[in-house]
A and B are shown apart, each in its own frame.
Chain A
Amino acid sequence: MFEDLSEKLEKAVQSVKGKSKISEVNIAETVREIRRALLDADVNYEVAKAFTTHVKEKAEGEDVLTAVNPGQQFTKIVYDELREILGGERSDIKVADVPPTVILIAGLQGSGKTTFVAKLARHLKQNNNRNPMLAAADVYRPAAIDQLKTLAEQIDVPVYSIEQKDPVRVAKETVSMAKSLALDTVIIDTAGRMHIDEEMMNEVADIKEAVDPHETLFVVDSMTGQDAVNTAKEFNERINYDGVVLTKLDGDTRGGAALSIKKVVNKPIKFVSMGEKLESLAPFYPDRMAQRILGMGDVVSLVEKAQEEYDEKKAQELQKKIKKDKFDLEDFREQLQKIQKMGDINDLVNMIPGASKAMKDQEIDEDAFKPIEAIINSMTPEERRDPDVLNGSRRKRIAKGAGVKVRDVNDLIKQFEQMKKMMKSMSKMGKMSQAMQGLKNLPFGRK
């Protein structure tokens, strides 16, 4: 997926060389790719469209960072926006002033309600010192009550159930039972239901009315497709839930439903369920979800790193120097140091669309820069500014100082001259992959 997307992003940038502001033209292709990524991730069609349009409007006119291409930069803006939408206000499960705190769980068939009920009970018991009681209000599915009881036994939590098929009564009686047993929390497991099943939707609304829960949670399978908006909306209209639980995130779904749901009902995602074990319950992290939906976390971190390390002004000076052929070994050393500060060089190369291909999978030795730096360090400032003065005896002296062979010094200077030429011919920076290709030819550059 990532390879795909990055190649496309790279193609998209071919046409935008030399642009200084993000404009409709230079990100059109990226916008399309992002929209497609969202749809592939199961974000609702309407939501994906509105979202990309909005972000595009927001991004237009922003200055283009010289270290990355506009497409990548736009992707980062998309990511930030996504993270913000998914995040928003976070609130914990409410606690009742007068116990018990009542929590109602609802959702479609097979979404993972019963397992979640047990996970939540375990979580509240272990981490919040609470004493939960479970209400077996799924009176329809064969062996649903057995299932809840078996899980409850594993975490040593009581379950209340009755013979009659009356979920409202089960819920109410569990609350009074908890009160009399001085248990401070009631979690109500309800039957899965279709949002268009009038009778069943009335039933869950009745349960809610009967017990007036402090917290109502809507459980949804993270693999859900376009229909997520319909179900989320319908359940919200009927039971006005306080939060959403995303289940089965231990799968490989991109989880676009999270965005769709957030957009149509604007309720916080409170938990994610990541496995069949009762311990596998986690808080929701908007940033991880955003990366997952986009399937392109790498571009995001590249832009972040570039933003961290990039000094706009210096970049422009450098640009001028390259144009005027004044880029010298001093500048080169500075660039090398900057690149090293950005992290593992191989990771960086891999983050650049197309660059890993250009490098033909060769690894760059992390220490590759050390001897280069040592050579440059052994030069006098004059020699760095003007490598032309480097005659034989000077080269010998430098090699000795840096602890390398004269041939290495010769190679470095030759490669430097070549790189200078190449950089000049590149009309703008931003084409990092070409610059990286230059790196490949440096002495010590290969493993």
Chain B
Amino acid sequence: MGFLEKIGLKKKEKLDKGVEKSREGLLDKLGRAVAGKDEIDAATLDEVEEVLIRSDVGVNTTLEIIDRIEERVAKDKYVTQSELQQMLREEIIKLLKEHRPDHPAKFEADLPNKPHVIMVVGVNGVGKTTTIGKLAHLYKKAGKKVMIGAGDTFRAAAVEQLEIWGDRAGVPLIKQKHGADPAAVAYDTVAAAQSRDSDVVMVDTAGRLHNKKSLMEELEKIKRAMGKVVEDAPHEVLLVLDASTGQNAMQQAKHFTDVVDVTGLVLAKLDGTAKGGVVIGVSNEMDVPVKYIGVGEEIEDLQIFDREDFVNALFGDSAS
């Protein structure tokens, strides 16, 4: 017999309602929680805790945010609903790292290197290849000369997939056959970009779970190969995270950072109902900015990450 039957119908209703509820925005809920109160109380903090956890912010980061708010309230004593919302926003924004000047997010911005080499990594299926397709398009649209490399020589039809994206974006692709040494592909790609005077070059890699030692070593090797062509390459290592991933994203970030020193995050698939709140803790702990978000499967569906917008979306009210 299932659990639901055992605890009776009442709880099931509550559960269903709970699921419904999570579709509302965080601020709606928060608004409800603090409406008519001008003092922060335990129940309100519980409510804040709930909405943050429900957005995948995670227990640790949630407690950290609540601590910070409590500290501020202890100083300012009284807090109205709008003040509390403002505080929450500010504290979350503080945890999210800013874009780095040497890795400009804007596609028109001058890049500090030529070619500017970007390596894209992440676990299986998060959206690496799609992200490269979108980025290639957006860089090109901004007037940059782009090249991409099919460094996933492992997954079935991965090369073909990137090839299609290359065609869509109208940028050249460097590839070898399926099963080739990915480090060699990475080397070739960067070398080709250099000789053809590209502005930006992006190398795709096969998806791999961060706890697989040999695959992580391979990634390190791919990275080193790029450095043999252009000094300090890759200049950026983007870790793609799936917005629907929960707390495991933290493990992913730690392991990938250990091995290839991630410089920025891409939060893909934000077009669903998942909030991707785990990036708050990841950005804070790994000290890396979230650079882009993926919001669909079309070539234009990529945006530069904006902390305010993200927090508003987290709160579910894009209006304010």
Contact = CB atoms under 8 A, between A and B. Distances in A.
Nearest to B208: A276
Nearest to A154: B156
Contacts of B7: 50, 54
Contact of A225 (B1, B16, B161, B245): B245
B125 A230 contact: no
Of all A-B residue pairs in the complex, the 8 with the closest CB atoms, nearest first, are A225-B246, A110-B125, A42-B246, A46-B18, A146-B157, A150-B156, A142-B164, A143-B161
Contacts of B246: 42, 223-226, 253, 256-257
B59 A194 contact: no
A252 interface: yes
Contacts of B157: 143-144, 146-147, 149-150
A266 B54 contact: no
Nearest to A84: B3
Interface of B: 1-4, 6-7, 11, 14-16, 18-19, 22-23, 50, 53-56, 58-59, 123-127, 133, 154-158, 160-161, 163-165, 209-212, 242, 244-249, 251, 269, 271-275, 278, 297
Nearest to B3: A85
Contacts of B53: 39, 45, 226
Interface residues of A, number: 59
A108 B124 contact: no
A224 B244 contact: yes
A195 B244 CA distance: 12
Contacts of A257: 246
A251 B210 contact: yes
A36 B163 CA distance: 45
A44 B126 CA distance: 21
B273 A225 contact: no
Nearest to B243: A227
Given A221-B245, A226-B246, A46 B297 contact: no
Given A252-B211, A252-B248, 12 more contacts: A42-B246, A81-B3, A108-B244, A109-B127, A142-B160, A146-B157, A150-B157, A225-B274, A226-B56, A227-B244, A227-B272, A263-B4
A39 B59 CA distance: 7
A51 interface: yes
A229 interface: yes
A81 B1 CA distance: 11
B248 A42 contact: yes
Contacts of A66: none
Contacts of B14: 46, 50
Contacts of B54: 44-45, 226
Contacts of B269: 108-110, 194
A233 B209 contact: no
Contacts of A88: 1-2
B15 to A, nearest CB: 6
A359 B318 CA distance: 57
A261 B53 CA distance: 17
A266 B5 CA distance: 10
A37 to B, nearest CB: 9
Contacts of B242: 110, 221, 223
B244 A221 contact: yes
A88 B245 CA distance: 26
A7 to B, nearest CB: 17
A8 interface: no
Given A39-B53, A108-B272, A226-B246, A46 B278 contact: no
A111 B58 CA distance: 22
A110 B23 CA distance: 22
Contact of A266 (B2, B156, B164, B209): B2
